[in-house]
Structure 1
Amino acid sequence: MTVRVLDLGGRTFSYLDQGAGQPLVLLHGIGSAARSFDQQVGGLSGRWRVVAWDAPGYGGSSDLAIDGPTAADYAEALLAFLTALDIRECHLLGHSLGCLTAARFCADHPDRVLSLTLCSIAGGHGALPEPERLKLLEQRIGDVTTLGAQGMAEKRAPRLLGPTAPPGALERVIDTMGSVRASGYGQAARMLSTGEITADIKRLPSRLSGQVIFGDNDLITPPARNRAIAAQWPGAEVHVVAGAGHALYLEQPDAFNELVANFLSKRSGTST
């Protein structure tokens, strides 16, 4: 799958872009990259234009200009990215940390979003007591600093998958997580540390169609946490993928793609 590069004059984004029709934009998590969505790009691009970005600081995308960004900074980067691609409206899907960017973007720019899907939701640590919040941040940054990206991936990746993950899934997660840049990962960790997704979910327009998807074996963002966030979002559909862990779209791509396709089809006039 060809990785494209968008040069905005001193600011670059790398991304995948395939298909035609209404755009579906995919936002990856903190230890991932656009290429982790290859089975979604390939599987859904027959009916939608599927775009997966490398978030700022990931892949070939430039770091953000400030060391301690917030979700608002990532949302504004997404706005610049979509505007440069002439994507004026899109279906938006975030996974894990990508949910914080997706929810903030929808809250700030509701006219740019046709529907919102949040998967394996990282809600942010902004509401935690400061000592706990800082401890979690130090652990994340400490892992990538002391172990390196590859060592961090080997330590963290096994917990991202369910017990029935197919052969090769763990190797893919390790390979993708092992490719992160320490600078971009550090910025994303600081955004996670200050984020509070429920505040943005409460700002979403009532007209916006939404869904929450998570695996029932998710150890990173457990089912109870996903349900608690979904309860703050009136009208959102909730779907549970049996046997799946945190990286559900990678370990069960067919089930995941079917949920996304069914949801989008009801909102974009396409047939499943």
Structure 2
Amino acid sequence: MNKKRAGLIGAAIGTAGAIGVGAVVGARRYAVGRERLRPDPDRYERFGELRGRPQTVLANDGVPLHVEVDGPDDAALTVVFSHGYCLTQDSWHFQRRDLARLDDVRMVFWDQRSHGRSGRSDLTHATIDQCGDDLLAVIEATTSPGEPVVLVGHSMGGMTIMALADRHPELFGSRVVGVALVNTSSGQLAELTLGLPELFGKVFRRAVPGVVRGIGKRGALVDKGRRIGADVAFVITRRIAFADREVSPSIVEFVEGMIGSTPTDVIAEFYPTLAEHDKLEALGVLRDLPAVIVVGDDDRLTPPAHGRAIAAALPDAELIEVTEGGHVVMLEHPEAVTDAIAELVGRVRPVAEERSA
């Protein structure tokens, strides 16, 4: 495999969250220039620079998890944010910036295993279930026993919350007092088509697992070549991760940078657990909790039907559908997600204050 081809394939696989989409590999450079010259209201935003008090939490298999804490240690309520596949805790940039205004709330951000600043997992523990156990370790290390917690998860982060509910249902209602699920799924991701017509979607679903395995075996080569495909990666990110045509180029570059920093073999290692994810029954654990579900109406990676299925299983949850919202809706339409989390915190605050009294 030559370097140029490896770069194009790596860019496509990395950006599509290892669900890969080769149809856009032929994007022309003029299209890249046109995208990059769009109005950029966020060009001065400090993406990736917001930092909290660092802490290393060891997972139950010894993998070091990078955690950062914002806000007072004696806060009555803690909100724990879990990010998505091929992203990092920095994907919560706007929520981290704007929710700092909340009184008496501590925020915990962490990088999932093999992502961001956290340590690398071995292949056998690159699973959603293990990520659920990792979330438990983060909660226990950053909060006091009995302290109320709100869990917020995007994409794979939402699946991590579901895995925690499946493996440790006793926490929900006692420790976990609220949940926000953003652009996520309870299962059937193997049916993903990225919006392709059904005929092409069937071919796509059959081909992707083998392609991902093959690229995973050549991870080092593909990673070297991904630099060559940087312009193509920008276009793919813009097309797949976002829906709003006016999205800031700086945000697109920020997301592409997070994806591009995720090693190709990590992308390949986690793909099977995403395709096999099935936690619909675990949602029953959340039925009596205050909950909000946010979906983008043009999300190609976890389409709106997935969020609606979760809402159907949680009839008392609030369902928010964001118009012209893509997969990274917390960056594309940050106010919608920030306000949903703030409203959820307001709903559970009386419980937190009662317990801290």
- Give the shorter-chain TM-score range: 0.7 to 0.9
1: CA distance between counterparts of 2:139 and 2:65?
11
Structure 1 residue 121 corresponds to structure 2 residue 184: yes
Query: Residue 209 of structure 2 aligns with which residue?
Result: 137
Deviation at 1:134, TM superposition (A): 6.9
Change (3 A) 1:92 1:134: farther
Aligned to 1:36: 91
* Paired letter, 1:259: A
Q: How far apart are the structure 1 equivalents of 2:335 and 2:214?
A: 35
Residue type matched to 1:44 in 2? L
Aligned ranges for residues 1-272 of structure 1 at < 5 Å? 1-2=50-51, 4-6=54-56, 8=58, 10-20=62-72, 21=75, 22-47=77-102, 48-67=105-124, 69-86=126-143, 88=145, 89-110=148-169, 111=171, 112-125=175-188, 135-140=207-212, 145=219, 147-148=222-223, 151=229, 153-154=233-234, 156-158=236-238, 159-162=240-243, 163-202=245-284, 204-269=285-350
The secondary structure found in structure 1 opposite 2:134 is helix
Q: How far apart, in 2, do the equivalents of 1:187 and 1:56 lie?
A: 12
| Contact 2:215/2:268 (8 A) holds in 1 | no
Larger radius of gyration: 2
For residue 334 of structure 2, what is the amino acid of its counterpart?
P
- What 5-or-longer segments of structure 1 have no aligned partner? none
1:41–1:51 CA contact under 8 A, matched in 2: no
Once the two structures are TM-superposed, the CA of residue 166 in structure 1 deviates from its matched residue by: 2.9
Moved more, 230-239 or 50-59: 230-239
1:99 counterpart letter in structure 2: G
TM-score, normalising length: structure 1 = 0.85
Distance 1:137 1:87, change over 3 A: farther
**What TM-score comes out, normalization by structure 2 length?**
0.67
Q: CA deviation at 1:192?
A: 0.6
Q: Comparing 243-252 with 105-114, which one deviates more in the overlay?
A: 105-114
Q: Deviations over 1:214-238 (max 9, x none)?
A: 1112122122232123212231110
Task: Tell me which amino acid in the other structure corresponds to 2:209.
Answer: L
Larger RCO (alpha carbons 8 Å, 6+ apart)? 2
Native 8 Å contact 1:23 1:87 kept in 2: no
**Residues 250/205 of structure 1: CA separation in 2 closer, same or farther (3 Å cut):** closer
Please give the secondary structure, in 2, of the residue aligned with 1:16. strand
Question: What is the identity, as a one-letter code, of the residue corresponding to 1:85?
Answer: T
Is the contact between residue 133 and residue 193 of structure 1 (CA under 8 Å) also seen in structure 2? no
Q: Offset at 1:212? A: 0.8
Root-mean-square deviation (Å) = 2.8
Change (3 A) 1:206 1:232: closer
| Paired AA for residue 72 in structure 1 | D
Distance 1:229 1:206, change over 3 A: closer
2: distance between equivalents of 1:229 and 1:136?
26
The runs of 5 or more residues in structure 2 that have no matched partner are: 1-49, 192-202, 353-357
Percentage of pairs with the same residue = 25
3-state SS of 2:301 partner: coil
Residues 229 and 143 (structure 1), Cα distance of their counterparts in 2 relative to 1, 3 Å cut: farther
Number of equivalenced pairs: 267
1:45 partner amino acid: A
Work out whether residues 99 and 121 of structure 1, in 8 Å CA contact, stay in contact via their aligned partners in 2.
yes
Letter in 1 for 2:294: I
Summarize the Cα distance change of 1:132–1:175 in structure 2 as closer, same or farther, 3 Å threshold. closer
Distance in structure 2 (CA, Å) of the matches to 1:210 and 1:141: 36
Q: Is the Cα contact below 8 Å between 1:137 and 1:193 reproduced in 2? A: no
Q: Secondary structure at the match of 1:197?
A: coil
* Deviates further, 78-87 or 53-62: 78-87
Aligned partner of 1:208: which letter? L
Distance 1:183 1:147, change over 3 A: closer
Tell me which moved more, 136-145 or 87-96.
136-145
